[in-house]
């Protein structure tokens, strides 16, 4: 019964995306996202972000651009999304699988799970859950 609900939710999420990528659908230009199903109730959610670190030295703009061209950072974080047996009446649980910055990812997962422990609603769909996780990753 629960597996059918989750499969229906995944189908609805894919229908909502309409063959767009997650980053295109949510209009996030500076990262790529991948949601991969491992079991009927477990997913891996990967965030891949390329950034240019800020230089600590104040340099002329043309020199900053030239140096910045060599300083790309690739940040990859892999999270696990698990659905409890009494879903949607209990919240999903997020955990860290693999991460670039350990402390940041642990804080993000703690924030996301704590947010749902305080205020969970069965109306939170997979789409909203993923958007909440993206929000937590970039703003915590």
Q: Model confidence over 4-58: pLDDT tens digits?
A: 888 888 889 989 898 899 999 999 888 899 999 998 889 999 998 876 656 556 7
Beta bridge partners of 34: 46
In this prediction, residue 43 carries a pLDDT of 93
Tell whether pTM > 0.85: no
| Structural domains in the chain, sorted by start | 2-139 (3.10.110.10)
């Amino acid at each position: 019964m629960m597996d059918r609900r989750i499969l229906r939710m995944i189908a609805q999420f894919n229908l909502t995306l309409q063959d767009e990528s997650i980053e295109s659908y949510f209009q996030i230009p500076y990262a790529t996202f991948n949601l991969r199903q491992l079991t009927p109730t477990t997913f891996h959610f990967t965030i891949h972000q390329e950034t240019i670190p800020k230089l600590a030295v104040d340099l002329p703009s043309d020199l900053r651009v030239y140096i910045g061209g060599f300083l790309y950072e690739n940040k990859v974080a892999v999270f696990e999304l698990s659905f409890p047996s009494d879903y949607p009446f209990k919240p999903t649980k997020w955990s860290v699988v693999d991460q670039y910055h350990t402390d940041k990812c642990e804080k993000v997962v703690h924030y996301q799970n704590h947010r749902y422990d305080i205020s969970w609603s069965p109306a939170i769909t997979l789409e909203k859950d993923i958007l909440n996780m993206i929000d937590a990753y970039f703003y915590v």
